[in-house]
Amino acid sequence: MKVIVAKTAGFCFGVEKAVEKVYENVGKESLYTYGPIIHNEEVVKDLEKKGVQVINGIDEIDDITNGTVVIRSHGVSEDVYDKLKSKGLDIVDATCPFVQKIHRIVSKESMEGRTIVIIGNEGHPEVEGIKGWAHSDTYVIGNSEDAENLSLKQGEKVCIVSQTTFNFKKFKDLVEIIQKKGYDIKCLNTICNATEERQREAREIASKVDTMIVIGGKHSSNTQKLVEICKSECKDTYYIQTLGDLDLSMLGSGSSVGITAGASTPKKIIEEVHTNVRIKF
């Protein structure tokens, strides 16, 4: 059996940087991350064993009297920074540079009077953080129904940005719907290059294999997008978190298997899955 592993599978630059920042600070008294550092339970559990605590919301900052807080790659809203500073906490900012760029765009464009439209998943931490930099009305569009229902004044000045890990094809489709509404639109594709490349490669591999395996955390938005893309090309696509979720019998008798992984998947897990698939066949 032929096994193809995506070259882009696993940690992206932003995630790798964020994880490294936490491990570099392990050993400090009272070390926290704002939210789980990445959407990968294995990494989060390992950090918990090393004494790293998770802050699950801005209100929990009130209970902290001292320590260091690592801001994860998803970024946070401006008021979270203000709250951390007001408490005198040390901040290690591991926000992905691509996300920081969106924060600057949203702050500038909203200050200049544009309504902000974010193409992304409502409730995702990155999207919540982006919303927190706007100084005007903000709307989140996640599907065609949301786009069709967007109702603003004719000629409204609008700035469209995207969650960095959104499906690129879907982004273009949703923008097309919004562009028909007659708004004064400034559209900025803020999907990161690594995401576009990962999605492109996943689609390419899935289109030519019998079975596709996508590895990633169950709460990982970018992994879910990969699953969606792979399923559109390969009906036998399986979504797993670790080797323990892999039932080798599901691979059937096909002649080829493709493997890709989300941006929060450690290299070790990808290698374990790859090795076991090769051993099986």
- Compute how many other C-beta atoms are within 10 angstroms of the C-beta atom of residue 66: 10
Give the tokens for residue 74.
């998803």
Q: Does the annotation mark 148 as catalytic?
A: no
Q: What are phi and psi of 47, to 5 degrees?
A: -70, -35
Angle at 90 between CA 39 and CA 99, to 5 degrees: 40
Rounded distance between C-alpha atoms, residue 70 and residue 92, angstroms: 5
Q: Is 134 helix (H, G, I), strand (E, B) or coil?
A: coil
Catalytic residue among 20, 122, 126, 272: 126
Give the tokens for residue 200.
């492109």
Rounded distance between C-alpha atoms, residue 99 and residue 50, angstroms: 28
Residues acting as catalytic residues: 126
